[in-house]
Structure 1
Amino acid sequence: MKEYRLKGLSCPKCAAGIEQQIHKLEHGETAHIQYNSGKLKLDEKVNLEQVKKILASDHASLIKEDEGHNHEQNHNHTKIKLYLGISTGVFILALLLDGMSNISGVPFYLAAIILSGYQTFIKGLRNLTKLTFNIEALMTIALIGAVSIGEWKEGTLVAILFGLNEYLEGLGMEKARKSMESLLKIAPKEAILIKNGREETVSINELKVNDLVLVKSGAKIPSDGVVETGNSSVNEAAITGEAMPVEKGAGESVFGGSINNEGILRVKITKAYEDSSLAKILHLVEEAQETKTPTELFINRFSRYYTPIIMLISALVMLVPPLFLGGIWGESFYQGLAVLIVGCPCALILSSPIANISGITRNARNGILVKGSVYLEQLGKIDTLAFDKTGTLTKGAPYVEKYEIYDREHFLTVSAAVEKHSSHPLAKAIMSKVNDLPYREKEASNIETVSGQGIIAEVNGGKYWVGNEKSVRHVSIPTDIQSSIEEMKRDGLTLVIVANETSILGMFGIADEIREESESVIKALHTAGIKNTVMLTGDHEKTAEKVAHRVGVSSYFGGLLPEDKVQKVKQLTREGKVAMIGDGINDAPALASADLGIAMGKGTDSAIETADIVLMQDHFGKLPEAVSIAKRVNRTIRINIALALGLKLIALLLTIPGLLTLWIAILSDMGATILVTLISLTILWERKKKESSSYQTETEPQHS
């Protein structure tokens, strides 16, 4: 499939019509037009000249490869503004001439109509021949009708205002598209490849796994990889949304699209660009624009019936008064034409897509990947958030929360000697604590691992046991030490006891460290409208209770197996709209069972592929803002629909006393369209609320 950029797409319905025509071409069955992003995906075997003819029939065309997209759009907008400006000037001249009894302004009205409305008129005639009653068809009928009854002034005003309406509508969609395009521009274009000791600039598409690239200061890292040599701080905002730079050195992984702030890095490529985290993110964000929410699908279905109903009402307004109520044919015909214009569903169709694109884009800038408008809408409806504990509310890395020393001379020395060469997470936690305390360094020998218990080793000629309670059964434990053991167990701590042949030297109480931001984020989620926060964990009840009380979740459930988590999520979904947040790997079944799956992944493949929404950071500090944005998008769409239908209803009611005029009709339609577009774009334009520093200010370090 080859991808082309398009210009001149006038509306989603027109784009769908073009797509259907291309489907009829040989090899055209898989063609797909993405209206929101202005792109056409096409099988390379399709006859491109035939495609161009189909596009041209609707005044759309392909953008040439050497033609700047923004330049082309600006040129197009300038041309439309010029035509509208000239036609407005001609219209004013016609009004002045009309005031002179001996000169007719009709030729000038006609010129103004042609300048501002010829594209609409041509499309409308073509659609009428196909019995397709869309916006252009309605406007064409209204223009012909106005001219036929001699309403040149109002007919011209209708053409100019509709042209202005189309221009503003296109400008609004283009603004939303540009906001998305600015996000897509973060992709790197070239890389400096080191081959046989020589440097060569190549396209990122030429890079292969295990290639070595040079990344200079200020340059973008071309694809996911591992630092071979060099040290630098790297800006990962393109991936994670975090403004704070991350220090990178040899052996550490880096994301494609992140920026090397200073120094020089040599990076070994681990993924071809098309498989990189950034490429997947950009692809998914782009696809997300095209998904349809239940609201949008309803609007599309509604508009299919809405236009014919409006045409029927228009016909009744034209015929019923003169036939049955003694009305005047000319006045009734005029009122019927006005009803046709009121019936244009522009504002209704635009009420949802611009708001959704704006919401997806803002979240993407924050490092939150929403895979489609449907998931954004769901996020705005969520009332319950279920959290996995390990790796979500906690860091998923053990640390020593408490320790007791009974033999100061040997406890730390033995602990360090036995654990320092181990890669076990508990050993690393112990070494992290021991290194903060004074001890004598010794080496352990004759190390023996006892399954399910711990380690037996010799240190400085003595024999020692390091492990759980089972490992020290050979020792008689005094009452006070046994009390300390029971207290640590009640606190939900994992015990590592150090003993010699006769006595306990000391012990460590190890816990999974609670994330610094967890408590403040849970509060922020409740403030954002989440009614119920639930923690689900496989840990025992005491540990679950301790973490739940510390972070402030509404309720918790401990001792759950993976299948138990699924059942609990299903139970919660029967009571409300539920989102499940986990690490995207171990929690996949529970994520799939929820109405919405949210993964924390720091850009891992499994996280991107598993969930409906992915937090690209290694914390969930920005989740409350994502919820707020989603709720705002849903609220905006509801306001838009109310405005679009409300203004039209008011205009239609004016037909009862006979007050509806053509210019009032077009102003009501244009007013609704402008309001809907501007309100939707405020989601993008809103001043950023500490987006770069909210995590730091909201989550001052807390000692757990």
Structure 2
Amino acid sequence: MTTTCCASNEEDRLRTKDIQSSCCSKSTSEIAGTSIQNESSLPKEEDTCCSTIPKIEAKNSDTDTCCSSVNVSSDLIQPDQTTHTYRIEGMDCPSCAVTLEKGLVTIAEYQKVSVNYGAARLKIESKSELDDRRLQNEVKKLGFQLIVPNKEEKHVQTYAVSGMDCSSCAKTIEQHFQKINDVQTVTVSFARGEMEIEHHLDAQQVKNELSKIGFDGHVKGEESSKPSKRSFEGISLVLSGILIGLGLLLQTVEVLYLPNALFGIALILSGWKAFRSAFYAVRARSLDMNVLMSVAAIGAALIGEWLEGATVVFLFAIGNLLQNHSLARTRHSIQKLIELSPKEAFVLTEEGVIRKSVEAVRIGEKIRIRPGDQVALDGMILKGTTTINQAPITGESIPVDKSEGDQVFAGTLNMDRSFDMIVEKTYQETTLAHIIELVEEAQDNKAPSEAFIDRFAKIYTPFVFLGALLLMIVPPLLQLGSWGEWFYKGLELIVIACPCALVISTPVAIVTAIGNAARNGVLIKGGVFLEKAGKIDAIAFDKTGTLTKGTPIVQQFMLLSDDREHTLRIAHSLERHSSHPLAKAITEHTVQEGVYPLESDSVINRVGNGVSGEFEHILYHIGGVKWFREMGYELGMLDSTVENAEKQGQTVVLLGSDANLLGLFILSDEVRDESVDAIRKLKEKIKIKKLVMLTGDNAGAAARIGKKLSLDEVHANLLPQEKVRIVEDMRRQSFQTAMVGDGINDAPAFVTADVSIAMGGAGTDTALETADIVLMADNLNKLPYTLDLSKATLTIIKQNVIFSILIKLIALMLVFPGWLTLWMAVLSDTGAAVLVTLNALRLLKKRTL
């Protein structure tokens, strides 16, 4: 049996958390089996013994208390209290905040009132909903104005942020904004140079908060109203360089104090940005490169090495400037996609043509696209014919002819004539908007190698920093050298502790590759899929619509009568009344032959068999072999032709009159023009070990296609689950397997494969959603390019990582013999960061094989 008593001041007892010094052997939270996260929310009652503590039902029935009234449930340990936040206008000084706070604290239902003069913010804690109108009146009586937040004003915005030098800067920004009450969530992408924030603040407040911690920002899509700091930074660096040069000259003539004064000014001019960023990084508990460089520079100055200190921040600033310029090129690839979307559209109304912003155009409205204009939104052509350059979406350089009923996409270029179209998707739903959104998300998705390096850096930096501190203290204590000597070596180690080149080596390559792919009509949904694609050594293809065109064409026409033109005219006349793919293929074939249909009012579409019709008082039929046999036609010598065609997976269509047969069409789905070339490249250049075709079609058709493409394996008559089994078998054989299809019918196999690749994603939401990689064009030649780009990315990542680690090791080995100087240590880091960035930029030049 345990007995507890309660201190007279429960809040103080909980805050000290010193159980032994308390008169209570167990805290109230222990009795309840809970932990109190916010002790301040407990009632304060100094004159009573726990009389006002929420009643808790003790879980231990053997526990007695000296307070008989303590009999409470743990879910009531914290009162149901809400914090309300408002903005205040009219405060001129901190004493105004005190006045307002004292005036409002007298109101009974306000449990706690606090006013922050700097943030112009009022916070009120209350158990009930507040009457905002009453509160406004109370604040007005005290001489101030209350700004009531509109609950609907909470919104998510994306800001373009400049001034980030590494991923640690992104962490500093996130941690700063997370402390602001009006901010719900914040995510910063160093790769894209953007911040996504859900908040109640206005744009100027967000900009001010960014400025406080050393960064500039503006709402994405808007021009920055603030002049760029780049010119000022450039002037500062030039002046710093001149001052360092003058200082070196004055040292040669032994002028006292003046050289160090010049070095000190140069240190401030070129290091002010790093010092400011370091201050906010320390506040955010982030040991980033600005902190390390600032410690090194200031430490050098403290031991009298003014030249070393100035050189450190000077080289560091130059390295950052070059690195940021290079990173801007990688981010520009996405910006170019965004710029493709026009800002306005010409909408057709009853009053005539009016100009509207694309955001204001609704589904179902009609718009006009003039020659040379970019298509404003996704939709269908209603009137007119033209030629469209779809390269921004599909990556295909050859323009496509478009006519009534054809789909067009936002961001593509109208090259020929004006046309009218009906809008089918809003601005936010267009294919281009979807691509931009997915690419931006992809650039934020970390690849396995990137995630590993981030984890490594988190251990490496503090470990080396601690080692540097020990190096400054232990050897001098052991009398192994002077304090100044080992302090200098420690500063060198602090600079080497900065993992900037290593951390940036992977993301810059991935961002560059994903951006390049997007510009060439390939959507890669993240670094993980980019890395996996680079390791692929086996590919399974769907047949129809992937390796083949997906629509049948006439391979051969056999004339069985005397009049070829008449026979083809009859075929055209009958089949134009059917929507069957075979009928369309025959109609297209007759058009290519230059024949025109006859008119007839007695055409009958016999579903499942064919079409019958009467022309010039003669009845004709066109359809399958089985139907003609049922009607009593004798095929005779044609039986062997039909049998051979069916063995090869081809389809035979017969045409005849009531009296006899007139002609025979042999049709089949044809291999795409680019499939042969793509398969050859995959084998010869990409070195894919195994190429397999999976199809539900018959064995004859599959074998014919497989032979034409020289595939390693062909599997026919497959159900979806059987395709999954074959992909699983390939993976069990230690193949890194990709599944290539249209993204609609092959979902189970897509999920099973290591990487799923969908073709023809332009305008197909299913393909965009289901696949890991989407080839926007219906062109298999994009596949070798994609795998080649992925392999090149893996190679560059390996080069960057090895180079970054090697530079660090060399620098470390040079520290102890005393051969390394601080400026050399800076070059080993910032110089390496610039070089790995430039190496990654080589991926921008990667083009289709």
Q: Which residue of 1 aligns with 2:581?
A: 425
Give distance in 1, aligned partners of 2:573 and 2:222: 67
Change (3 A) 1:146 1:351: same
Deviation at 1:327, TM superposition (A): 3.4
Give distance in 2, aligned partners of 1:664 and 1:172: 22
Give distance in 1, aligned partners of 2:207 and 2:779: 48
Deviation at 1:673, TM superposition (A): 1.0
Give distance in 2, aligned partners of 1:127 and 1:227: 55
Query: What are the within-5 Å matches in structure 2 for residues 103-502 of structure 1?
Result: 103-104=256-257, 105-128=259-282, 131-324=285-478, 326-409=480-563, 412=568, 414-437=570-593, 442=598, 452-474=608-630, 475=632, 477=634, 480-499=637-656
Larger radius of gyration: 2
Deviation at 1:245, TM superposition (A): 2.0
What per-residue deviation string (whole Å, max 9, x for no partner) do you get for residues 126-175 of structure 1? Answer: 54466532212222222232122222221221121111122222222222
The alignment status of 1:682 with 2:682, answered yes or no, reads no
Give the letter aligned to residue 565 of structure 1: K
> Secondary structure at 2:704's aligned position in 1?
helix
Instruction: Choose which of 212, 231, 235 in structure 2 pairs with 1:82.
Output: 235
Q: Which residue of 2 aligns with 1:700?
A: none
Give the letter aligned to residue 591 of structure 1: F
Query: What are the within-5 Å matches in structure 2 for residues 553-632 of structure 1?
Result: 553-574=711-732, 575-601=734-760, 602-632=762-792
Change (3 A) 1:106 1:564: same
Aligned length: 687
Give distance in 2, aligned partners of 1:440 and 1:677: 63
CA contact 1:26–1:46 (8 Å) conserved in 2: no
Instruction: Choose which of 215, 234, 242 in structure 2 pairs with 1:60.
Output: 215
Q: Which residue of 2 aligns with 1:530?
A: 688
Deviation at 1:599, TM superposition (A): 1.3
Deviation at 1:414, TM superposition (A): 4.5
CA contact 1:417–1:459 (8 Å) conserved in 2: no
CA contact 2:172–2:286 (8 Å) conserved in 1: no
Give the letter aligned to residue 638 of structure 2: I
CA contact 1:9–1:59 (8 Å) conserved in 2: no
Deviation at 1:530, TM superposition (A): 2.5
Deviation at 1:257, TM superposition (A): 1.4
Change (3 A) 1:274 1:123: closer
Deviation at 1:670, TM superposition (A): 2.3
Deviation at 1:317, TM superposition (A): 3.5
> Secondary structure at 1:382's aligned position in 2?
coil
Q: Which residue of 2 aligns with 1:698?
A: none
Change (3 A) 1:434 1:247: closer
> Secondary structure at 2:815's aligned position in 1?
coil
> Secondary structure at 1:352's aligned position in 2?
helix
Change (3 A) 1:134 1:436: closer
Give the letter aligned to residue 8 of structure 1: G
Give the letter aligned to residue 434 of structure 1: T
Give distance in 2, aligned partners of 1:25 and 1:284: 29
Give distance in 1, aligned partners of 2:226 and 2:609: 71
What per-residue deviation string (whole Å, max 9, x for no partner) do you get for residues 290-349 of structure 1? Answer: 121111111111110010121233234334544558334332222221111112111011
CA contact 2:213–2:276 (8 Å) conserved in 1: no
CA contact 1:607–1:614 (8 Å) conserved in 2: yes
Give the letter aligned to residue 686 of structure 2: A
Deviation at 1:39, TM superposition (A): 2.5
The alignment status of 1:99 with 2:252, answered yes or no, reads yes
Deviation at 1:203, TM superposition (A): 0.5
CA contact 1:465–1:471 (8 Å) conserved in 2: no
What per-residue deviation string (whole Å, max 9, x for no partner) do you get for residues 253-307 of structure 1? Answer: 2111112223322222122121111111122222222121111111111110010
Deviation at 1:427, TM superposition (A): 0.7
TM-score (norm 2): 0.76
Change (3 A) 1:618 1:118: same
Give the letter aligned to residue 151 of structure 1: E
Deviation at 1:461, TM superposition (A): 4.3
Pairwise CA RMSD? 2.6
Give the letter aligned to residue 538 of structure 1: G
What per-residue deviation string (whole Å, max 9, x for no partner) do you get for residues 524-543 of structure 1? Answer: 12212332222111111111
> Secondary structure at 1:29's aligned position in 2?
strand
Q: Which residue of 1 aligns with 2:6?
A: none
Higher relative contact order (CA 8 A, sep 6+): 1
The alignment status of 1:10 with 2:145, answered yes or no, reads no
CA contact 1:411–1:506 (8 Å) conserved in 2: yes
Change (3 A) 1:512 1:172: same
Give distance in 2, aligned partners of 1:187 and 1:398: 36
Give distance in 1, aligned partners of 2:355 and 2:335: 25
Q: Which residue of 2 aligns with 1:33?
A: 188
CA contact 2:654–2:663 (8 Å) conserved in 1: yes
Q: Which residue of 2 aligns with 1:519?
A: 676
Give distance in 2, aligned partners of 1:633 and 1:30: 33
Q: Which moved more, 1:564-573 or 1:318-327?
A: 318-327
Give distance in 2, aligned partners of 1:667 and 1:58: 26
Give distance in 2, aligned partners of 1:486 and 1:183: 53
What per-residue deviation string (whole Å, max 9, x for no partner) do you get for residues 10-43 of structure 1? Answer: 3222212322332343352332223322222233
> Secondary structure at 1:418's aligned position in 2?
helix
Q: Which residue of 2 aligns with 1:545?
A: 703
Deviation at 1:677, TM superposition (A): 1.1
CA contact 1:379–1:631 (8 Å) conserved in 2: yes
**Structure 2: gaps (5+ residues):** 1-155
Give distance in 2, aligned partners of 1:220 and 1:272: 16
Q: Which moved more, 1:86-95 or 1:399-408?
A: 399-408
> Secondary structure at 1:233's aligned position in 2?
strand
Deviation at 1:114, TM superposition (A): 0.7
Deviation at 1:488, TM superposition (A): 0.8
Give distance in 2, aligned partners of 1:483 and 1:115: 91
Deviation at 1:448, TM superposition (A): 5.1
Give distance in 2, aligned partners of 1:31 and 1:495: 63
Change (3 A) 1:462 1:60: same
TM-score (norm 1): 0.91
Q: Which residue of 2 aligns with 1:651?
A: 811
Give distance in 1, aligned partners of 2:609 and 2:385: 41
Deviation at 1:415, TM superposition (A): 3.0
CA contact 1:25–1:46 (8 Å) conserved in 2: no
Change (3 A) 1:65 1:400: closer
Give the letter aligned to residue 194 of structure 1: L
Change (3 A) 1:6 1:443: same
Q: Which moved more, 1:464-473 or 1:383-392?
A: 464-473
Give the letter aligned to residue 314 of structure 2: I
Give the letter aligned to residue 837 of structure 2: T
Give distance in 1, aligned partners of 2:591 and 2:373: 38
